Each structure stands twice: as C-alpha cells, then as structure tokens.
Structure 1
Amino acid sequence: MKYANNILETIGNTPLVKLNKITKEVDALVLAKVETFNPGNSVKDRMAVKMIEDAEADGRLKPGGTIIEGTSGNTGMGLALAAIVKGYKLICVISDKQSKEKMDILRAVGAKVVVCPTDVEPTDPRSYYSVSKRLSEETPNAWYVNQYDNPSNTLAHYEQTGPEIWEQTEGKITHFVVGVGTGGTISGVAKYLKEQNPNVKIWGVDTYGSVFKKYHETGIFDENEIYSYITEGIGEDILPKNVDFSLIDGFTKVTDKDAAVFTRRLALEEGIFVGNSAGAAIKGVLQLKENFKPEDVVVVLFHDSGSRYVGKMFNDDWMRERGFLDEELTKAEDLIKDHADKPLVVVRTEELVSHAIERLRKYKISQIPVIDTNGFVGSVDETDLFRSYVEDKDIAEKPIKEVMGKPYPVVTANTSIEEVSKLINKDNQAVLVDLGNGRHHIITKHDIISSIK
C-alpha cells in the first residue's frame, strides 16, 4: 500500500504547468510552478514545517508550546497543519486587508486569529509585527516564528523548491520569476539555481507601495514609497533578512489593478484557479518579456489558491468598486448601475432644513433634489447649507424652499457620459437621470470620477 503517514508528508513535488493563452505574446516557454497543490494550498507549507522542525531541533519550540506568527494567511495555514499533527497551539496575527476567507480558514483549522490595522507603521504597537512580538513575550511557553528573518524560511526553498524546479526542467531553466514578500522563496530558489547555473536570471515581482525595487536598484530605503496597497502576499514596508538582494537580478512592479485582473485571467484563460500574487507574478512575466529569447525556459511561481479570494478578485462587485473591471461606460445609466436599485433621497419644499441635514448625514451624501407636488423644483447642497448656517444659526428651523438652489438638470438614461460631465460644474453639482416609469436617480461628481479608468 502507498500512503502518507500524515498530511505533512504530502507537501512538495508540485507540478510544473505550461502556460499557453495568457503568455502568447511572450517568445519563450513559460512554465508555472503551481504551489496550490500543497495540502495547505500554498507555497508557505514548505517553510512553515521547516521552521517548526528546526525550532524543535534546537529547543526553541517545546512540547505543548504555543506558536505565534504575524501572517498574511498562507504561512498561518501551513503552521496550523503542522501544529495539528505535532500537538501545538497556534495564534495567527493578521492584518485587516487580508481576505475574510483567509481568516475563516485559519479559524477552521484551530488557529486563534488576532486582526490588526494595515495602515500603521511597522513600529506602531498596533501593527501585526509589534502585536506578534508582544504576544510571544506575554504567552507562556511560546515561540515567535518571525518568518521574515527566520533563516529556515529560505532554507526550505533551497532544499526543496529549487531542486524540484531544476529537476523538472532538466536544468534548462533560464529565468525564475516570483512575487517577493518575506523573501524566503526567491532567495532559497535563487541560491540553489545559481549554484547549478550562475547564468539563471532571478526576477522579483514587487507592488506599488513597497520598497523592494528601489532599494535593489539604489540601496535607498525610501519611506516615501510606502503606502497602503491591495495586492496580498507580496511587497513590504520593511527589509526582511530573508531577502538576499545579491541573488536577485532585478525587480518589476505591478499595479493592484493588474494583479487583480490577471488573477481572474489565469482562471478564465488557463483554468488555473490561483491567488492574487499569481496575477501579479504573471503580469510581471509579461512586463519582462523583452528579456526573454525563444529558446529560454521561464518558470513563474504561483503562491496560493484562488479559493482565498472569492470575496475579492473573483467578485464583480468588489472589482467594480475599485475600478478594476474594464467595463465600457458610455451612458448616464452606466454611471449609476451599481446603486440604481436604491431609492432616490429627496426633501420636500415645506420640510425644514434640519430634515435635509439629517438625510445628508444619514445617507452620507452631499446633494439632495427638492420636490413638491409638481416634481423637481430645487436642490440642496451641503456646502450651501453650511454657508447659510454660518450666516444664520436659526436656518435649521426654516423651510427648505427658503434656501434651496436651482433644480438639477434632467437627462435621459442614454445621454452620453461626455454630455453629463459638461452639465456638472461649480454652479451645478449634480444631474438627475430619468430611468423611466417615474423613476429617477442622481449622478454626482463622484460618479463621474469613479468612472475614470
């Protein structure tokens, strides 16, 4: 009989898959190392087990202990599987930008999940770096993994992932492309491959909001480059010890939008249902295509599974809210289709100004059409209301008709966005669109701006 003694023995030996449609403009053989075939559905299974085994061997992790780590979710999953098999408790500290699916999966495999804000400095006591360290100091018999600086992270890929790729390509690999986060994967694989053939080129994929590319090219850690970004699993606002810049030949940066769009394209065009960093990685390959020749063998690594992003990149509403869906918007009705089902908020001429202020606040809006029994007769704008209030503190108890402005222009659903844009100016802050059957909706400057790709 052939079977594994436990789930950890199934880690590794993931397939190398040729990419066909999405890379048709690349004049080289492009192969994907699909790490979602690991039991925890990500490349992080490899280093999670290696870090635990090395900590057991030198006494840092003792029987019955608690493993504590700051993670974007995938390392936590690998640690959770090992903790179950080996009998440890696990606390995962995760940032709030990570997908809900990742948090739910970690809880499903027994981890305690602590969520921290993304938009804080690494040294901030609320950051997931700081919280991880604090919990490891406060928790009895705890071991803080610190995947960013733990050398076992890189070693796992030097011992496993690198040799697998070399063997699977029969030593013909010429380029390795991978997203860079903790740095363990790129550094471990790079070290092994360059030992076999120093001419193998190693390319890191970075994201906007991260420091890697500029630091590699200039040696400058530029804090001005650090800002919040959406792409998960790659990029950093610190320099992890596991990133060996001397082994990396270059970086390319990929936008949040491209990472999300190409994640979906991998599923639709190649049937490979993988995660957000895979989208960034394949877009990175396309951006680097001028570096490849027809006889080259390019290996790109896909970190994790698309199942962790079904509420994000694979959700049309999520994509649309961020302007990531390349939908052609040409008519007035296109601008409001995401919220056309919501009733139009209005105020009547005889209602008090205080009622309008209450609705502005309740619905978080800036403009309200004014109606009477004949239809639309005026408009109320928060800026005008504020100016009126400064001049007359009793304004709140006056009827709307005393302070309202001109009614908003009304356009048909088929009016072009260009025509709608011309109607919105400093004297007129919105336009009403007639949807038929007595239904109207409001188009504001925000709707116009949101349509810009």
Structure 2
Amino acid sequence: MPILRSYYQEVYRSPVVQLDGYSGRHGLDSSILAYLDFGGATGTSKDGLAETMLAFATERGTLQPGMPVIEASSGSFAAALAVSCATTGHPCILIVPNNLPPDRRKLLQSLGAHLIASSNNSRRAMDRVAADTAKRYGGYYTHYFSNDDNPEYHRRVTGPQILKHAGDNFDAIVIGVGSGGTITGVAEYVKAWNSMVRIVAVEPAECAAISGGFLGQHGISGIGPGFVPENYNPYVVDTVLTVTTDDAERAAREVLFFDGIPACTSAGATLAAAVQLMNMGKAKRPLCVFAGRRTYL
C-alpha cells in the first residue's frame, strides 16, 4: 500500500461490506450491503465532512488562515469539526445547549473547542447566537444544516465511492437523516447515473419530523433532529421509514454479533429499515450507509 500524505485520504476510502450474517439471521433472500463511512478520528462520517467543508470555504476565500470557525452543535459534527479545526489551525467555537451533559462538555473541550451555552435551546435561537458570534469574532459559521457544502461533499465523495465499490449490485440506498446532507448529496449523484435506485430516508419513530409524525425524545444519536433540515431534498427521496430506538439498538447489536461490525445506533436504524423495505417488496438488495461506529473498549 502507498504511504499516505494525510489520514483523511484513508477516511474517504470507505468499504462496502456484504452482511451475510445479519441477513441470514433475518431469513432474507439476499444479503444487505453496508457502506462503512466511519473511519475517521471520531468514528463517524462527519470527520471527512468537516475537513472538506473547511477546505471548500478556504478555496472560496471565506475562511482565512487562523480565522475562528463557529457552529451550533454538540453532536458528532461538533466533535469532528473540533478535530478538523485543530489540524488546520483554526479556533473552534461551538454554541451548545445550556443543559449539555458535563461528560459531553468535557469531551468537546478536550478536543480543543471553546463552548458558549445558549440560554434558549431551540434550533433557531442557537443559529442566531452562532451567527452573532461569527460576526463578533470575525469568524466563519459553517451552518452545516443549511450549507450546501454539506451535500456537495456527499455528491463528490460518498455517492461516487458507493458506485465505485458496489457498482450496480444494489437497488436501494437506505440513509438516516440528521442534517440532510448525506441523503441529498448521495441521492442527487446516484440518481443522475441510475434513476431507478430507490432512495430511502430513515428517521426515529419517536421523532418523525420528515413524515409528519410525533416529535419527541429518542435515543438514536446522529439522526432525528426534530425538524426538517434545509439541506434535505425531498424530491430525490422515494420512501421515508421510521424505526424505534429499541429496534435500532437491536439491529446494531445483531450486526456486531453476526458480522463483526461495530455499528452505532443510527447504522442499526438503517438496517432495521432495510429489513422493512425488503419485507414490503420494495427492494431486493438494499445498501445501508453506516454513518458511525460504536466503541466497546
């Protein structure tokens, strides 16, 4: 193997794996495929996304050397952004909820982020604080729920990688919806090559904003923000499925036991949705995008 100039080169080369064990466990006629998009430092798909969004902004000249980077987030993108800022020499300022658990606060701070707690935890209020903070410190607000650099990354990287590794060996792609960037970018790229591929959006049954259901608390980290993000393009989505937190966690455990893949709960949600899809007769060989891994040590 060649010597890489950057670890991010490896992050972008996510493999596609055939899940024979999990598929056999559920008595499926063919095996589900999984695109393992979690090779980065924080163990989620957000590592490559954060690094590339900063690169896009730098290319445009909107992000100058040493300029602070601001985001309203405390989740997986926040952690990935903090790492990317550290490696590129940008201060990272995160607007976080005022009820953020202490352990999460310490983790983000350990990655080099400066935290500002919002007195109002609504998405709109936190966005306002982030925009004001960027103006006050002369910083760049990534705004990844609404910034087209998010789906553009998936148009350029995730979509092409899926086709490169899986070819035409799938008839549906199943993706959990968080910021909306993955499903929009992948769908727009893949459908340009094959409009017959079914695109399936997955959200928590307990917080079903896309399908117009109940909005409540859930335990599937990374998806189900409780609103429909601006980056979400409904015109390229063919089916929306909901999965309960319990079913997502069960699927994540099963794919670990039967295929040795340390899937996070949102990855488990895509698996549970893929089984639904096959049982409904709407796909024969779906591919799930696994956006994160779980650490068991």
Do both share a fold (TM > 0.5)?
yes
2:242 maps to which of 253, 257, 265: 253
Residue number in structure 1 paired with 2:184: 187
8 Å contact kept, 1:162–1:188: yes
8 Å contact kept, 2:8–2:40: no
**In structure 2, C-alpha distance between the alignment counterparts of 1:150 and 1:113, rounded to whole Å:** 21
1:37 to 1:210, Cα distance in 2 relative to 1, 3 A: same
1:336-347 paired onto structure 2 within 5 Å: none
Offset at residue 159 of structure 1 (A): 0.7
Q: Helix, strand or coil: the match of 1:154?
A: helix
8 Å contact kept, 1:22–1:265: yes
8 Å contact kept, 1:27–1:292: no
Identity of aligned residues (%): 25
Offset at residue 79 of structure 1 (A): 1.9
**In structure 2, C-alpha distance between the alignment counterparts of 1:99 and 1:280, rounded to whole Å:** 24
Residue number in structure 2 paired with 1:275: 264
**In structure 2, C-alpha distance between the alignment counterparts of 1:171 and 1:289, rounded to whole Å:** 17
**In structure 2, C-alpha distance between the alignment counterparts of 1:61 and 1:242, rounded to whole Å:** 21
- The one-letter amino acid of 1:173's match is F
Q: Helix, strand or coil: the match of 1:300?
A: strand
Does residue 135 (structure 1) correspond to residue 133 (structure 2)? The answer is yes
Higher Cα radius of gyration? 1
1:228-247 paired onto structure 2 within 5 Å: 228-247=217-236
Offset at residue 178 of structure 1 (A): 1.0
Does residue 298 (structure 1) correspond to residue 286 (structure 2)? The answer is yes
Q: Helix, strand or coil: the match of 2:22?
A: coil
2:68 maps to which of 66, 82, 86: 66
| Alignment TM-score, normalising by the size of structure 1 | 0.59
Offset at residue 50 of structure 1 (A): 2.1
8 Å contact kept, 1:203–1:252: yes
Q: Helix, strand or coil: the match of 1:23?
A: helix
- The one-letter amino acid of 2:138's match is N
Please, which moves more after superposition, 5-14 or 169-178?
Answer: 5-14
**In structure 2, C-alpha distance between the alignment counterparts of 1:164 and 1:97, rounded to whole Å:** 38
Offset at residue 46 of structure 1 (A): 2.4
Which of the pair has the greater relative contact order for Cα pairs under 8 Å at 6+ separation?
Answer: 2
1:201 to 1:100, Cα distance in 2 relative to 1, 3 A: farther
8 Å contact kept, 1:154–1:183: yes
1:284-323 paired onto structure 2 within 5 Å: 284-292=273-281, 296-307=284-295
1:427-446 paired onto structure 2 within 5 Å: none
Q: Helix, strand or coil: the match of 1:202?
A: strand
Segments of structure 1 that go 5 or more residues without pairing to the other structure are 215-221, 315-453
Residue number in structure 1 paired with 2:94: 92
1:226 to 1:129, Cα distance in 2 relative to 1, 3 A: farther
8 Å contact kept, 2:255–2:262: yes
Q: Helix, strand or coil: the match of 2:184?
A: helix
**In structure 1, C-alpha distance between the alignment counterparts of 2:62 and 2:171, rounded to whole Å:** 39
Offset at residue 168 of structure 1 (A): 0.9
- The one-letter amino acid of 1:41's match is G
Offset at residue 102 of structure 1 (A): 5.4
Offset at residue 116 of structure 1 (A): 5.6
Does residue 160 (structure 1) correspond to residue 157 (structure 2)? The answer is yes
Offset at residue 198 of structure 1 (A): 0.6
1:344-355 paired onto structure 2 within 5 Å: none
- The one-letter amino acid of 1:22's match is Y
Offset at residue 165 of structure 1 (A): 0.8
Does residue 13 (structure 1) correspond to residue 1 (structure 2)? The answer is no
Residue number in structure 1 paired with 2:194: 197
Does residue 111 (structure 1) correspond to residue 113 (structure 2)? The answer is yes
Offset at residue 2 of structure 1 (A): 3.1
Q: Helix, strand or coil: the match of 2:202?
A: strand
Offset at residue 62 of structure 1 (A): 1.5
2:216 maps to which of 220, 227, 231: 227
8 Å contact kept, 2:98–2:119: yes
**In structure 2, C-alpha distance between the alignment counterparts of 1:4 and 1:113, rounded to whole Å:** 33
**In structure 1, C-alpha distance between the alignment counterparts of 2:106 and 2:261, rounded to whole Å:** 23
**In structure 2, C-alpha distance between the alignment counterparts of 1:156 and 1:50, rounded to whole Å:** 7
Does residue 264 (structure 1) correspond to residue 253 (structure 2)? The answer is yes
8 Å contact kept, 1:27–1:293: no
- The one-letter amino acid of 1:187's match is T
Q: Helix, strand or coil: the match of 2:123?
A: coil
Offset at residue 293 of structure 1 (A): 7.4
Offset at residue 38 of structure 1 (A): 2.9
- The one-letter amino acid of 2:293's match is S
Residue number in structure 2 paired with 1:395: none
Offset at residue 144 of structure 1 (A): 0.9
Residue number in structure 2 paired with 1:330: none
- The one-letter amino acid of 2:208's match is S
**In structure 2, C-alpha distance between the alignment counterparts of 1:134 and 1:261, rounded to whole Å:** 42
Offset at residue 65 of structure 1 (A): 0.9
Residue number in structure 2 paired with 1:178: 175
8 Å contact kept, 2:201–2:241: yes
8 Å contact kept, 1:8–1:81: no
1:64 to 1:2, Cα distance in 2 relative to 1, 3 A: same
**In structure 2, C-alpha distance between the alignment counterparts of 1:132 and 1:176, rounded to whole Å:** 33
Residue-pair matches, total: 294
- The one-letter amino acid of 2:65's match is P
- The one-letter amino acid of 1:122's match is R
**In structure 2, C-alpha distance between the alignment counterparts of 1:300 and 1:97, rounded to whole Å:** 33
8 Å contact kept, 1:38–1:45: yes
| Alignment TM-score, normalising by the size of structure 2 | 0.88
Residue number in structure 1 paired with 2:209: 211
8 Å contact kept, 1:202–1:248: yes
